[in-house]
Structures are given as C-alpha cells and as structure tokens.
C-alpha cells in the first residue's frame, strides 16, 4: 500500500537528521514546482536552475533552524520560486539573451577568420609537403626563398646578406618559384586548401 507522508512530518524528520526525508519532499513536489516554473520561464534549463536554487534556499533554511512550520510548506516554496523567477527576468532585462531561430542565426553575421580544425590540418599538411619540396631546390635559390618567405626579408636585405646584387636575388627567387612549380607538377602534389 502506498502512503503519502505529510510535509510537516517530512520536514520534522529532516530537521532531526533524516536525509531521506528531503529526498521524499523534493520528489513529492518536483512535478508541481517544475511545471509552475516552466509555465513562467518557458525554458527547461532555466527551470532546472530555478528549481535547484529554490531547494537550496529551502535546505539552507531548514538547516539554519529558521523554518516556521505553519502547515504551509508548498505555498512557501512556491513563493521562493516565484521570487527567483522575478530575479531571473530582472537579470535578463538588464542583460538580454538572444537566441537564434530559423529566420536569424547570430553566427551568420559573427564569423571567425581562423580556419576550422579540418582546414588547419590540411594547411599543416601542405606546409609540410612544401618544406620537403623547398629542400630539393638548388642551394642559392633555397637560401633566397627562405629569407623572403620565412624570414620576411626585403630583396635589398637578401642582396646584402647573400652578397649579390638585387637583380641576382630577384632572379634566384624567380627561378626558385619556377623550379618549385616543376617539382609540384612532377610529384603530382595538390597544394590547395
């Protein structure tokens, strides 16, 4: 036979140290309180949060010994939940929350320039392939290409560092690129992202 213990008894037992009593009390009012909160906030996550905060206040009040039993547990809990719902709407008014829907998605106007994980993997692979190809260039061309691409040096600086004229440095860079294209074609490597 299923019997329901009244709220006052459960509260008394809980205050006297019976932890099982609070579980029975929460489960007893779970549906009613959650449905009430949901009917106001229309959001399941917010409902769960407010339900949780409500019972945190209830538990704290019981443990402090400041609960005044007048046989009105449910109206008291509903009042706590109601006040928390008002707090929730006040907070949202100060800091409104926008949720996307079928007509408007915030991520269609907010973009991130960084490549996604897949594109980053492809880019890393291309960089690795390119490094292997570059190493096959003649030494003088390799030197100019590395200074220009990896060290971002100007052709004037390259000419000074390699002790050649600027035209020679430009010519070596040009041949480096031509040879690199030949190597790419020869090895049938696809270098696009």
List residues near other proteins by CB under 8 A: 19, 22-23, 26-27, 30-31, 33-35, 37-39, 44, 47-48, 51-52, 55-56, 59-60, 63-65
CB of 2 to other proteins, least distance (A): 18
Select from 35, 115, 45, 113 the least CA-distant residue to 78: 35
Select from 48, 57, 45 the least CA-distant residue to 83: 57
Name the E strands within 46-182: none
Distance CA 112, CA 108 (A): 11
Of 22 and 134, which CB lies nearer to other proteins in the complex structure?
22
CB of 96 to other proteins, least distance (A): 24
Select from 62, 55, 57 the least CA-distant residue to 14: 62
Of 41 and 169, which CB lies nearer to other proteins in the complex structure?
41
CB of 61 to other proteins, least distance (A): 11
Distance CA 95, CA 178 (A): 58
Distance CA 171, CA 74 (A): 87
CB of 105 to other proteins, least distance (A): 26
Select from 63, 52, 69, 57 the least CA-distant residue to 18: 63
Of 78 and 166, which CB lies nearer to other proteins in the complex structure?
78
Of 40 and 146, which CB lies nearer to other proteins in the complex structure?
40
Of 35 and 156, which CB lies nearer to other proteins in the complex structure?
35
Distance CA 58, CA 179 (A): 77
CB of 35 to other proteins, least distance (A): 5
CB of 103 to other proteins, least distance (A): 25
Of 65 and 96, which CB lies nearer to other proteins in the complex structure?
65
Residue in the block written with tokens 């980053």: 120
């Amino acid at each position: 036979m299923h019997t329901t213990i009244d709220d006052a008894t459960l509260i008394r037992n809980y205050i006297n140290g019976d932890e099982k009593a609070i579980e029975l009390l929460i489960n007893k009012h779970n549906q009613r309180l959650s449905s009430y909160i949901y009917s106001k906030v229309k959001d399941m996550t917010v409902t769960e949060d407010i339900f949780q905060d409500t019972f945190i206040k209830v538990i704290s009040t019981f443990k402090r010994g400041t609960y005044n039993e007048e046989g009105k547990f449910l109206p008291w809990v509903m009042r706590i939940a109601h006040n928390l719902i008002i707090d929730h709407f006040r907070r949202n008014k100060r800091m409104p929350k926008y949720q996307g829907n079928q007509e408007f998605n915030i991520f269609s106007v907010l973009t991130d320039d960084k490549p996604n994980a897949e594109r980053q993997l492809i880019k890393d692979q291309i960089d690795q392939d390119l490094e292997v190809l570059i190493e096959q260039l003649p030494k003088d061309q390799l030197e100019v290409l590395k200074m220009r691409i990896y060290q971002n040096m100007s052709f004037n600086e390259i000419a000074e560092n390699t002790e050649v004229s600027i035209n020679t440095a430009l010519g070596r860079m040009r041949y480096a690129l031509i040879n690199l294209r030949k190597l790419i074609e020869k090895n049938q490597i696809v270098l696009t992202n």
